A and B are shown apart, each in its own frame.
Chain A
Amino acid sequence: MTEDGGRVGVRGLTKRFGPVAAVSDLSFDAPPGAVTGFLGPNGSGKTTTLRMILGLVAPTAGEARINGVPFAALQRPARVVGAVLEAQGFHPARTGRRHLLACAAAVGVPDAAVDVGLGAVGLIDAADRAVGGYSLGMQQRLALAVAMLGDPQVLILDEPGNGLDPEGIAWMRSFLRGFAARGGTVLVSSHLLGEIEQTADHLVVVSRGRCVYQGGLDQLRASRRARVLVRCADPGGLARALATAGIVEIDTLPDGRLGVADADAVRVGDVALAAGVAVHGLVEETIDLEQLFFQLTTGAWRG
């Protein structure tokens, strides 16, 4: 493995379908040894981006590289990158085993790898049934078995949680964590923060084809400072008093409460008492990551 082994790099990636810009000037990195969560609402360009990384969709501008080269330049692509994509299909009449056997021949691994793969994803019992009879979750597992055939350095997954039951999601989560812990690169997309919150080390958040946040989860949490929400008799008076005390980041909420950043409840209460403003309610706002994500992707958040 080279120093660059398994790094996925995206630079200025842009894709227009006619007048519609599906992806605009997107740049990010997915480093080896970590799980990178690729988050965004449905229709935000995640799938198009992943397909451009995999050489399935030609970018209008920019480029995506795996191991420092475009996908098309990889000598044995399935040995470097495995992918589980949403619109990746199976012939309904072909059995899971025969599908894997065909893929094993294409990848260039011995047939013995098929049984190993079937075992790893728990499909041994269903292997000789036609894929048309598989549940969505079983199809996801089969797609993962195909992706793992070439023992790749990079795993790219598009909404792998779709169709999986909670048990399957937990299984997938530990599978991806294990893969990254062994030095692999994982790039996994989702439209639900909660789904990859416990899995991802880094986040790339996109909205309408543009990157709106990139960094660690902790930084994301920290970027949104906790606020104290105050209901009081004279919001204007309290705001002036707080400003005099050096606390200037104050918002007025739609319900008339004040949102005070950079101060805890004790401090706000003390200032209110000193200013003679009657306080009717004082709560510390909790940071809900899902809400934060929603704000990020709807463009309401300015950080």
Chain B
Amino acid sequence: MTGLVRAEFRKAFSTKLWWALLVPVVVLSLLVNLFGGLFTASLADAHAGTGVPPILLGSLAYSLSLTSVFAALYGVVTAAAEFRHRTITTAYLTAQGRGRVFTAKAVSTGAVGALYAAATVVVGVLAGLVAHSGLPGVGALAAVTAVGLLVAALWAVLGTALGTVISNQATALVVTLVYMLVAETLLSLLLGRSDNPVAAGLAAYLPVNAGDVAVYDVAGRALLGDGTQLAELLAGVSRPPPWWGALLVLAAWTAAAAATAWLVGRRRDIT
């Protein structure tokens, strides 16, 4: 198994994809955190008279949310590339069982996703220093970073599962982007308008929202003492779960996608 994981890392770092997606991650984190002051302005009231609030946490959380899209794309493209370039044949011939190939790939893409989140935080903090944002405490920064790493890693694994299930690279990419950027937002709006309070609260449990809620809640707790307000504002959901609950929700979605990939991949004919 360790050999298979090493093989996946060697594949990952022998093509340009990982840094081609790292570039927009870094650029977006730089921009978002430089101009983070504007975007968290709505929170300033809560800190009236207490000096400059550590608004960097808010902009960091927002850039981590953006990073999760690239982590997902990395997983999708990596998994589907094996089918596109027909390297999946070699991967299956050199491993004992297709499940192990998927697991090894999920480990490597998850790690790259976490790397994207780490790069987001490092660049974001540097940008915050340049922009003289209020800097957060080490504990709060560590908490946001840890949750951000987990969310990005989960999204990379979820993307890997999607890429494996759909296997056509272009289709998988379009489906992922449309869902993450458009479809879930529409779905959340529809659910939010529902008169049924249960349905209205469901939006927070959709995968993109769950990942966002996790980082916004943990950032909001450090900023405002309670993360619900920030999570509701930025993720556009009502009555979100706490950060750890949201992480579990995203983990459940990821597990469901991985199980589907395992089931579909197990019997698929590789012709």
Contact = CB atoms under 8 A, between A and B. Distances in A.
Interface of A: 47-48, 51, 54-58, 72, 74-78, 81, 83, 85, 87-95, 98-99, 101-108, 146, 149-150
B42 interface: no
Nearest to A150: B94
Given A57-B269, A102-B7, A146 B90 contact: yes
Given A56-B92, A74-B96, A91 B3 contact: no
Given A87-B89, A94-B11, A51 B94 contact: no
Nearest to A48: B271
Contacts of B85: 89-92
A74 B90 CA distance: 16
A54 B270 CA distance: 10
Contacts of B8: 102
Nearest to B10: A102
Contact of A106 (B7, B270, B271): B7
B14 interface: yes
B193 interface: no
Given A77-B93, A102-B10, A103-B94, 4 more contacts: A48-B271, A58-B267, A92-B85, A106-B95
B28 interface: no
A218 to B, nearest CB: 34
B96 A98 contact: no
A250 B16 CA distance: 70
A22 to B, nearest CB: 10
Contacts of A72: 97
A88 B14 contact: no
11 contacts: A51-B271, A77-B94, A77-B95, A85-B89, A88-B87, A89-B89, A89-B90, A91-B14, A93-B16, A106-B95, A146-B94
Interface of B: 3-4, 6-8, 10-11, 14-16, 81, 85-87, 89-97, 267, 269-271
A72 B93 CA distance: 10
Contacts of B86: 87-89
A61 to B, nearest CB: 15
A98 B14 contact: yes
A76 B86 CA distance: 21
Given A75-B96, A77-B95, A105-B6, A91 B81 contact: yes
Given A56-B269, A58-B269, A105-B3, A95 B14 contact: yes
Contacts, number: 90
Q: Which 5 A-B pairs have the closest CB atoms?
A: A89-B86, A106-B7, A98-B14, A105-B7, A105-B6
Contacts of A103: 7, 90, 94
- Of the listed residues A56, A88, A106, the one surrounded by the most CB atoms of chain B closer than 10 A to its CB is A106
A91 B11 CA distance: 9
B95 A102 contact: no
Contact of B87 (A47, A75, A90): A90
B14 A89 contact: no
Contacts of B15: 91, 93-94
Q: Interface centre among A78, A88, A99, by most B CB within 10 Å?
A: A88
Contacts of B97: 72
B215 to A, nearest CB: 33
A168 to B, nearest CB: 21
Nearest to A107: B94
Contacts of A76: 96
Contacts of A108: 3
Contacts of B81: 91
A57 B268 CA distance: 7
A83 B269 contact: no
A51 B89 CA distance: 10
Contacts of A56: 89, 92-93, 269-271
A103 B4 CA distance: 9
A189 to B, nearest CB: 15
Contacts of B270: 51, 56-57
A101 B3 CA distance: 11
